[in-house]
Structure 1
Amino acid sequence: MRNNNTSVPKYLFGFASDKLLVIASIIIVAIATLYPFNFSIPQNFSISTIFTSFDNTSFFNDQINNVLLFMPLGFGIASIFQRNKVKAFLQIILVIIAGASLSFSVELLQSFLPSRSPTPADILNNSIGTFVGLGCFYLYDSRSFSNIIGSIENSYFSNSNKKIIILFTGYILLTFAIGMSWQNNISLREWNANFPLILGNETTGNRPWQGYISQISFIDEIVSNNQVKLILTNQNYLFKNQDFLIANYDLNGNNNYRDKTGKLPDLLWQGELPKLENRDTEKGIILTPNSWLKSSESAKFVNQKIGETSEFTIITTIASANSNQTGPARIISLSGDSLHRNLTIGQEKQDLQLRLRTPITGQNGSDINISVPKVFSDTNNHRIVITYSKGIINVYVDKYDNVYKFNLLELLPNNQKIFSYAVTFLPLGLCLALLSIIAKRKFNLNRIILAIGILFPSLIVESILIHLNGKSLSFINLAFGMFFTACTALLLQARTALLSKSELIN
């Protein structure tokens, strides 16, 4: 049976299908976000502690999942409102409020789950998901879609070339804004300020590294090429130029290790003190599975400063005691546990591995693999300089010419790249389809808008990424952008044409 006001089936097994969809969506949301339902009241419970627990971040995969999870809810609620003849504008407002309310309730309940981390960004992403679900309903429901298309075709803009060109200019400016927003994917603003500095392990003690470390320094900016050369060739350069350091530990074999800049807490031994006979004054202190170092408090100053600039330089001198260590074995970490980190320098057999927390690499920094080969093929001391800026990582090993360069945007896994381009260009394709419908009566202008509107966004976004991030030109990426834009615009146009033809026949 079908409702007179909608093409969506009204009943399923004797029940209203849209109501069943809403109920099922709520149940799925509850299971996906609250399982295993091990609720407990936190110690020192108060309203302020609940809102403090919201200090978490959302990453790319989480954002996609949160949007997809709430889309069926938006679809079902929109169908219910349409059946009850709720005005379109009010539908949009109420659907967004419903999604945001359910999301806030879930995030609030996650404050009482030790296994979950409430995140303010999830509320926004869930609300976007319900809105996208509403849009999908309008596209699916023939009557709703026809009404919207009719309103657009007869809109205030459709009879004026000037107004259409102004709208198209806005479309191009929107493309620039979306292209610039890619910078958020490679920023370090999501770094957790409360993570400690750990050498030779994780806080949990289950990722040990065995080897020597004699020095580690942090800078909250990328140093120049000339400075890199001086750091690698002149052992006294940092000692004479400490003003630009935000932390500097000289690990000389004493029982406590203080930051020379006075900005980070002391490093303290975890486990047992290393035996005197295992010390090597030339290589520095030895770290073992039974003896590693951790800052007495969080490395807040370093975490915050690097998070603010989204740049860093790290200098260290290390020597592995075993070329077959895996895990990766943690050499230097700013992390909370084995699954949550800002940064880790580790060893995976003979390779140096780097994990870095950004929106696209995830909260464990492991979604993109950054590996420097053969660094630990011997047990000698190695001087390492690592720099990061605008998504580009440089790892210098012993010599300035021995450098490995990585661009995070070029290392995106294929599935993540496809999602990223879909999220970027599907909305642009929708905007282009609407522009094309508005310009329907201006045949020549419509064709120009459609051709330029498919080609330019992909070129603009790729040009922005090349200019700001130094990535190389990728024709595959250009093709991805044009594909998603063209498919969205042309499919909506085809649906409009089919509905118009159906109405003429009827």
Structure 2
Amino acid sequence: MILVIFSILVVLIATLFPFNFSFPDSLSPQLILASFDNTSSFGDLVNNILLFMPLGFGLTALSQRKMMKLMSVFLIVILISAGLSSIVEFLQVFLPSRTPTPTDIVNNTTGGFVGIICFYLWHSQHFIYIWSRVENSRVGNSITKITLLFSGYILLSFLISILWQNSIELSNWSLNYPLMLGNEQTGNRPWQGYISEMHIADKAIAKSDISRLLNSENDFDTIRNYLIASYQLINNTSYQDRTGQLPELSPQGQLPNIADEKGVALSSSHWLKTRTPATYLNKRIRESSQFTIMTTVATADRVQTGPARILSISSSTLHRNLTLGQQETNLDLRIRTPITGANAADLKFSVPNFFTDTNPHKIVITYSQANIQVYIDKLQNFYSFNLLELVPKEQKIFYYALTFIPLGICLTLLTIRKNKKLSFYRFLLFSGILLPSLIVERILVINTGKSISLKNILLGMFFTGVTMLILRLRASALLKKKP
């Protein structure tokens, strides 16, 4: 009971702190539904599962004292986990610092279920009971049936690879963020410089088209069908989107008294923001998971930090879809994906020594399937990044553990057999450890164009194999103690 109460308190503090609730004057179902238009990042998925695991563990332990059946335990844990998560997500509607997300309810409920599994793996009597049932089952002694189950295990590996593929999509972009040039919506990340044009497409355009864009002035015929925003910012006081699909860019602060051929002058006292959220832009990019940004910029200060915002599609310094900024002489890029988080700051991309002068520079940035290409002034001057190859080592180890430990548990259950043919058993064991890791890596290589990594393959095999080894050693030790 103490663990259950403690777990609930931890959940409430972790999800609702600092409890700065703000209730609107009028509340409608439409407002609540609009507040739930968010998706979780890959890191949020992990955290939400881990957060509810102690609750599932504690509820299962408590139910054992009541001598409840397994199905009843399962239903109680799932209902309580889902109920508590739903209450938390609803309360987050009234917290400015939180974003309620429907998938969080699913992830939290999954965490409660994982807590059940952890209890039965940890509790000696239940562990031996499950081990003996699987070991002596008819399925475990049928080559045909075990082969079918193994095929399902391999299929599970393919399904897990989908999770990795989704981690690089732009499916978690919020529809409600405005487009801003020269600052954040909060007004505390100003950029000193000039922008003469800004064009955004919902497709990663080809190199041949990029070459024409860099070598020609305003030659957009080849990409006109993909343009979702196009602003010319020279000698204008009204900044209308020439495609007619986005709101007008409205001046914020004081109008500058500077007329310059470099473009609109942006500073701490003057920046631009769309009058309403750039919903159409966000929706199109969220659906395609690709984009191209074309702009011409000139800095007025080569040592700006923050990063100072050149372009930002965001609601604050903590929530964004996209940011292009200056960090001293570097050009910084933040892109929101499930793996980079709601602030798009878990992984950062930086082009070094970009702002070494105050001259105008033409930039073309493309994103597609984890690949980021940045072209500066000419086609030969480019930088390339792959999102998955930039994941920090510690974070990657954690993600691989989350992916392959469950597979190790499944493979252990598949290979528990009393009357086993040694050659078949060895084949099952070896292929079961190797194939999932190979499948995940191969699919990521095909879909993202990243380099194949032997380290990643070995890391997946390590977590699958070590999980099996630990479970088998635990079973052997407990069976020896069994009278």
Query: Matches of 1:439 and 1:373 in 2, distance apart?
Result: 61
Match of 1:68 in 2: 50
In the alignment, which residue of structure 2 is the partner of 1:14? none
Name the residue aligned to 1:10: none
Question: Quick check: 1:21 aligned with 2:17?
Answer: no
* Among candidates 114, 119, 128, match of residue 110 of structure 2: 128
Amino acid at match of 2:224: Q
Q: How does 1:142-181 map to 2 (within 5 A)?
A: 142-181=124-163
Distance 1:38 1:335, change over 3 A: closer
1:266 aligned residue: 248
Q: How much does 1:134 deviate?
A: 0.9
Contact in 2 for aligned 1:437/1:493 (Cα 8 Å): no
Q: Which of 374, 398, 422 pairs up with 1:443?
A: 422
What fraction of aligned residue pairs are identical, expressed as a percent?
Answer: 52
Amino acid of the structure 2 residue aligned with 1:288: S
Partner residue of 2:193? 211
SS of equivalent to 2:301 = coil
Deviation by residue 1:67-93 (Cα, 9 ceiling, x = unmatched): 111111111111122222211122222
Unaligned runs of 5+ in 2: none
Q: In the alignment, what sits opposite 1:366?
A: 345
SS of the aligned residue for 1:437 comes to coil
- Per-residue CA deviations over 1:169-228 (Å, capped at 9, x if unaligned) read 111121122113211100001111111110000111100001111111111111111101
Contact 1:107 1:118 in 2 (8 A): yes
Find the residue that maps to 1:243 and give its secondary structure: helix
- The answer to whether the 8 A contact 2:238-2:249 is kept is yes
**Aligned 8 A contact 2:180 2:311 in 1:** yes
8 Å CA contact 1:439–1:446 kept in 2: the answer is no
Q: Say whether the 8 Å CA contact 1:153–1:440 is kept in structure 2.
A: no
CA RMSD, Structure 1 to Structure 2 (Å): 1.5
C-alpha distance 240-203 of structure 1, shift in aligned 2 (>3 A): same
Report the counterpart of residue 8 of structure 1 in structure 2.
none
CA shift in 2, pair 1:243/1:103, >3 Å: closer
The residue that corresponds to 2:385 in the other structure is 406
Higher mean displacement: 123-132 or 435-444: 435-444
Cα pair 1:60 1:362 within 8 Å, conserved: yes
User: Distance in 1 between the 2:225 and 2:445 partners?
Assistant: 33
Q: CA deviation at 1:104?
A: 1.1
Q: Does 1:307 align with 2:266?
A: no
User: What TM-score, normalized by structure 2, do the two folds share?
Assistant: 0.97
Q: Report the CA distance between 1:440 and its aligned residue.
A: 5.9
* Residue 280 of structure 1, aligned match among 245, 260, 265: 260
Return the letter of the residue paired with 2:165: Q
Task: Tell me the residue number matched to 1:322.
Answer: 301
Whether 1:390 and 2:369 are equivalent positions in the alignment is: yes
Q: What SS does structure 1 have at the residue aligned with 2:48?
A: helix
Question: What CA distance in whole angstroms lies between the structure 2 residues aligned with 1:51 and 1:261?
Answer: 30
Tell me if the contact between 2:140 and 2:414 (Cα under 8 Å) persists in the aligned partners. Answer: no
Q: How much does 1:411 deviate?
A: 0.2
Kindly indicate whether the alpha-carbon contact (under 8 Å) linking 1:164 and 1:439 is maintained by their aligned counterparts in 2: no
> 1:109-124 maps to which residues of 2 (within 5 A)?
109-124=91-106
Q: Helix, strand or coil for the counterpart of 2:139?
A: coil
Q: Secondary structure at the match of 1:374?
A: coil
Structure 2 SS opposite 1:246: strand
Question: How far 1:359 moved relative to its partner?
Answer: 0.7
Partner SS, residue 222 of structure 1: coil
Q: Number of residue pairs matched? A: 483
State the match for 1:251 in structure 2: 233
1:56 aligns with 2:35: no
1:387, 1:440 → 2: CA distance?
Answer: 57
Q: Equivalents in 1 of 2:223, 2:49: separation in Å? A: 49
Instruction: Report whether the alignment pairs 1:473 with 2:452.
Output: yes
Task: Tell me the CA shift for residue 49 of structure 1.
Answer: 2.6
Indicate if the aligned counterparts of 2:401 and 2:463 stay in contact, CA closer than 8 A.
yes
* Contact kept in structure 1, 2:202 and 2:292, CA below 8 Å: yes
2:123 counterpart of 1:141: yes
Q: Which residue of 1 aligns with 2:467?
A: 488
TM-score, normalised to structure 1's length?
0.92
CA distance in 2, matches of 1:248, 1:393: 21
Pair 130,384 (structure 1): closer, same or farther in 2 beyond 3 Å: same
What is the distance in 1 between the residues matched to 2:417 and 2:48?
Answer: 32
| CA-CA distance at 1:160 after TM superposition | 1.2
Of 88, 99, 103, the residue aligned with 1:106 is 88
Structure 1 residues not aligned, in runs of 5+? 1-18
For the residue of structure 1 that corresponds to 2:227, the secondary structure is: coil
1:186 aligned to 2:165? no
Q: Does the 8 Å CA contact 2:209/2:222 hold for their aligned counterparts?
A: no
**What one-letter code is carried by the residue in structure 2 that aligns with 1:302?**
L
**Does structure 1 conserve the Cα–Cα contact (< 8 Å) formed by 2:331 and 2:355?**
yes
How far did 1:239 drift?
6.3
